[in-house]
Structure 1
C-alpha cells in the first residue's frame, strides 16, 4: 500500500531536530523579546508557560497524532477523518504556499546582511540604507515598478538550497540538513548571547526585560499576547506538524516528542530574549537614553536597530555575522518545513515522485517569490501580506480546524486513545478540555480583537487601496483556493474513517528502497 511505502525519519532524534528547526524561526528571535517586554516583563513568563501547557502542547500533540495515525499530508489526513474536512487541509496548504513566498525573502536579506556586517556597509544611517540603498523601497505603497538585483540573487540562492534539501528526501535531505543546521544555530547564537551579556549596559537591558510587572497579569491583553506568541512560534495550525509526523513510525512517542520540541522552542525564545535585550541595553547606554526608547521588533529590530548597535560596539563585525547567520539558519529550517507541506500534499494528491514534485511545487513558489519581492514594492507587499495571512489565515484556519475536529466531528477522544497507545504521557481529560474549550475560545477572542482593531484603522495606517485590498485578497484567496482544491477528484482517493479503520493496518517493515534512503 502507498501508506506502507511512505518514507520515514531515520531516527527519533532526526524528527525532533526537524520539528525544532521548524518551530525555531524568525519570530523566536525578533518577536518574543518585544512581546515579553511590552506585556509585563518577567511576569509575562507565567501566562506564557500556561499558554504553552494549555494550548501549544495540546495542539502540537493533536497534529502529531493526526499525522502519525493517517500517515498523509493535511488534506489527505483530514479527508480520512471526514471528506468535507479536506478543504481545511488545502486551506493550510495554500497558506504555506503564500508564507513560503515571502519568508524566503527575509532569509535572503539576512544572508546579505551577514556580508554587510563585515564592512558595516550601512554606514551611519542603517534605516536609510535598508529601505533606500538596499531595497530601493518606493516612497509610496503601490505595485512593483523597479527590479532590485541585490535582493534577487541571494533570494535565488536561498531557493536553490531549499529545493536541493527537499529533493534529497525526508531522511537524506530534511533530516540531514537539520542535524547540521540546528547545532550550528545553537553554537552561533550561543556565542552571540555570551558576547551580548558582556557588553556595557547589558544588565540595564536585562533588567528591563525580566523585571516583573505583576499588575500586568490582570490585563486580558497580556494573556492574549502570551497565547498568540505560543501559537505563532510553534509552527502549529497550518499543517507543518501534521506533515512531519506523517513520516513517523507507528510506535513513535507522540506526547514525549511534543514536550521536547515545545520546551526546546521556548528555551530558545528565552535565550533570544537575553541576547536581544542585552544588546539593546548596550545601545541605550551608548546613546544615553532609556531602554524603552530603543525597543523594536520584526524587520526594524533585525535590519535597523541591530546594525546600529553593530556599528557602535567593539568587535561589531563578528557580532553582526553571528547574528545574521543565526537568523538565516533559523529561517531556512523553518522555510524547508513550510514548503514540505505543499510538496507532500501534491505528492499525495497526484502520486508524483519526490523530485518532480519538488521541482514543480517548489519551483512555482520560488518563481512567485522571485517575481514579486525583489522589487521596489517588495517591502510594503511583504509587510501587508505577512500581517493578513498571519491574523486571518493561520489563526482562523487553526480555529476552524479545532472547532471541526473537536466540536463537529468529535474526534479528540479517539485521537487521544491513538496517541496514548505509544506515548509516555497519556492524554486525558485535561487534553480534551484544552482542545475543546480553552484553545478555541482563546483563538476566537484573538480573531474578534484583531478584527475590531482592523476595522478601527487600516493596518499600519496604510490607505485603503492596493495594499489593503491585496492583504485581504491574499487571506481570503487562501480560503477560496482550499475550498476549490477539495472539489477536485483524487487520483487514488484515501478511505475515510467511515470506510476503513486505518488503525487496523499493521506496521510494515522498511522496504529495501527505504533502507537505501531513496528520496522518492
Structure 2
C-alpha cells in the first residue's frame, strides 16, 4: 500500500465532519464555555468597563484569531490529532501534542463536576431550594465543604448528577466524530443561543438593569494606560477561545481538505466574542437588579466564577419576577455551554489514543472516559471536591494552557521554522489572506505578551499563595498537576507509532 493510500485509509477510519457548517458549530461549541458566561463580564468590569473592549478586540485580532489560524493550519494540513499532527510536522515536536493531551485529560476530570453542579441547580431553581441564604446552601448543604483538606465523604447531591453527565458523555463520544461530536454541536448550539437570548431579554426587563449595564460599559479610559489591563485582555482571549490545548488542531483534522480555514477561524472567533458580550449584558443586567433590590452599588454585588453562578445568581432568582424561569435559563445555559466544551476536551484525548494505537472508536472512548469518570467521581463528588477543583483549575489554566501555547509558538516559529509552510497551506483555499504580519504576530508579538501574563501570574502566586490554601494542597493539586501533564506528555513520545500509521506522508515538513 502506498503512503498516500495509507494516509487516505487512516483518515477515513478517523472520521470527518460532514460539512464546514458542522465544523464551525463544533468549534463554536468548544469555544463558548463557562468562561464566556461567568468570567468575561467581571474581567471587563474590573479592567476599564467599556474601555476594555478596545484591548479585548486588539487581543482578539492580534493573538486570538492568529493562533486559531495556527492550530487550524497544523491540524488541517497534517490530518491528525495533536500528537500526530506535531509528529508529522517534525518528530521533535510530538511532545507538545501530548502535553496538550495531558492538559485536556486533567481539565475533563474536574470540568464535568461544574457541569453537574449546573445541572443540579437548573432543577433546584424551580423550588428555590437554596432558601434565603444561597451562600450557606451552596458551600454547606449542597457541597458539604468544610475546611480545606482531603475528604472521602461522598456528597449524593453531586454524585448523582455527575454520574448522569459522564453517562451521556460516554455515549456521545462513542458515537464518533459526526454522529456524536458534530451532531451534539448542531443540536446544542442553537438551543444554547435561544436559551441565553431568552435569559438576556428577561434580565433586561428587570428593574435596575440599566444601572448594571452602566456599570459594565461606562468606560474608564485611564485603564488603557495600564499594562495589566492589556494582559487581562490577552489572557481572557486565550481562556475563552479554546486555543492552546489541542482542540482546534483535532477538530480541523476532521475537515475536508479543500476548505476555507481562515474564514472559518474568523467566524468562530467573532462568534465567541459576540457571545461573551451578550453574556456581559445578561449578567450585569441581573446584577443591576440585585444591587437595586439590596440598596447597594453594583460593584458590591459584582463577582465572577463559582461565586457568580452558584451564589449571586440564586440570590437574584429569589428576588426577580419569574425568578424560577430566569434561574433555569441561566443554569441550563451553563450546562449546554459546559457540555459542548467538555465534548471537545475529551475528543482531544480520544483522538490521540486512536491515532497512536490504531484502535477502534469505541475502545478508545472507553479507555479514555472510564478512567476520567472514575477519577472525577472519586475526586470531585466528595466534601473536598470544591477545594481540589479550585486549585487544579487555577494552576492548569495558568501554567498549563498558557505555557504550552507560548512554547508551541516559539518552537514552531524558531525551532522547526514551520510558519511559512503553514501560511502557504492557509492561503491555498482561505478567504482571508495570510501574509508576513501573521508570522510576526505568532513568532514575536503574542509570545511576548503571553510571556508577560505568565510571569505576572507566577510572581503573584509566589508572593501570595493562591486562595490561602495550605502549601501542601497547592503543591499536590497545583504545581504537581501542572508538572505531571508536562512530564507524562513527553514520556508518551517514547511509545513508538504503529508501523501502519503514516508519519512521513503528505503535508509533512522536512526535518
> Same fold per TM (> 0.5)?
yes
Residues 10 and 501, structure 2, Cα contact 8 Å, conserved in 1: no
Counterpart of 1:224? 231
Matching residue within 351, 366, 379 for 1:372:
379
In the alignment, the residues of structure 2 paired with residue 231 and residue 343 of structure 1 have an alpha-carbon distance, to the nearest angstrom, of: 23
In the alignment, the residues of structure 1 paired with residue 29 and residue 38 of structure 2 have an alpha-carbon distance, to the nearest angstrom, of: 16
- 4 and 117 in structure 1: CA distance in 2 versus 1, 3 angstrom threshold: closer
Partner-residue secondary structure (3-state), 2:243 = coil
In the alignment, the residues of structure 2 paired with residue 450 and residue 343 of structure 1 have an alpha-carbon distance, to the nearest angstrom, of: 31
**Could you list the per-position Cα deviations for residues 103-136 of structure 1 after superposition, in whole angstroms to 9, with x for gaps in the alignment?**
0000000000011100000001101100110011
**Could you list the per-position Cα deviations for residues 355-414 of structure 1 after superposition, in whole angstroms to 9, with x for gaps in the alignment?**
111111111111110111000100000000000000001110111111100111111111
CA-CA distance at 1:37 after TM superposition:
0.3
Matching residue within 164, 167, 170 for 1:160:
167
CA-CA distance at 1:494 after TM superposition:
4.8
Matching residue within 179, 190, 205 for 2:212:
205
**Could you list the per-position Cα deviations for residues 66-123 of structure 1 after superposition, in whole angstroms to 9, with x for gaps in the alignment?**
1111110001110111112111110100100000000000000000001110000000
The residue correspondences of 1:86-485 to structure 2 (distance < 5 A) are 86-138=94-146, 140-485=147-492
Residues 251 and 422, structure 1, Cα contact 8 Å, conserved in 2: yes
Partner-residue secondary structure (3-state), 1:486 = helix
In the alignment, the residues of structure 2 paired with residue 24 and residue 41 of structure 1 have an alpha-carbon distance, to the nearest angstrom, of: 21
Partner-residue secondary structure (3-state), 1:483 = helix
Tell me if 1:502 matches 2:507.
yes
Residues 80 and 250, structure 2, Cα contact 8 Å, conserved in 1: yes
- 503 and 463 in structure 1: CA distance in 2 versus 1, 3 angstrom threshold: closer
In the alignment, the residues of structure 2 paired with residue 133 and residue 266 of structure 1 have an alpha-carbon distance, to the nearest angstrom, of: 36
In the alignment, the residues of structure 1 paired with residue 477 and residue 282 of structure 2 have an alpha-carbon distance, to the nearest angstrom, of: 36
Tell me if 1:18 matches 2:22.
no
Residues 79 and 494, structure 1, Cα contact 8 Å, conserved in 2: no
In the alignment, the residues of structure 1 paired with residue 409 and residue 501 of structure 2 have an alpha-carbon distance, to the nearest angstrom, of: 22
Residues 144 and 372, structure 1, Cα contact 8 Å, conserved in 2: no
Partner-residue secondary structure (3-state), 1:143 = coil
In the alignment, the residues of structure 2 paired with residue 487 and residue 208 of structure 1 have an alpha-carbon distance, to the nearest angstrom, of: 53
CA-CA distance at 1:463 after TM superposition:
2.3
CA-CA distance at 1:467 after TM superposition:
3.6
Give the unaligned 5+ runs of structure 1. Answer: 505-520
Normalising by structure 2, we get a TM-score of: 0.96
**Could you list the per-position Cα deviations for residues 317-355 of structure 1 after superposition, in whole angstroms to 9, with x for gaps in the alignment?**
010000000000000000000000000000000011101
Residues 195 and 319, structure 1, Cα contact 8 Å, conserved in 2: yes
In the alignment, the residues of structure 2 paired with residue 141 and residue 206 of structure 1 have an alpha-carbon distance, to the nearest angstrom, of: 36
Normalising by structure 1, we get a TM-score of: 0.95
CA RMSD of aligned residues (A): 1.2
Give the unaligned 5+ runs of structure 2. Answer: 1-5
In the alignment, the residues of structure 1 paired with residue 172 and residue 491 of structure 2 have an alpha-carbon distance, to the nearest angstrom, of: 30
In the alignment, the residues of structure 1 paired with residue 508 and residue 126 of structure 2 have an alpha-carbon distance, to the nearest angstrom, of: 56
CA-CA distance at 1:468 after TM superposition:
3.6
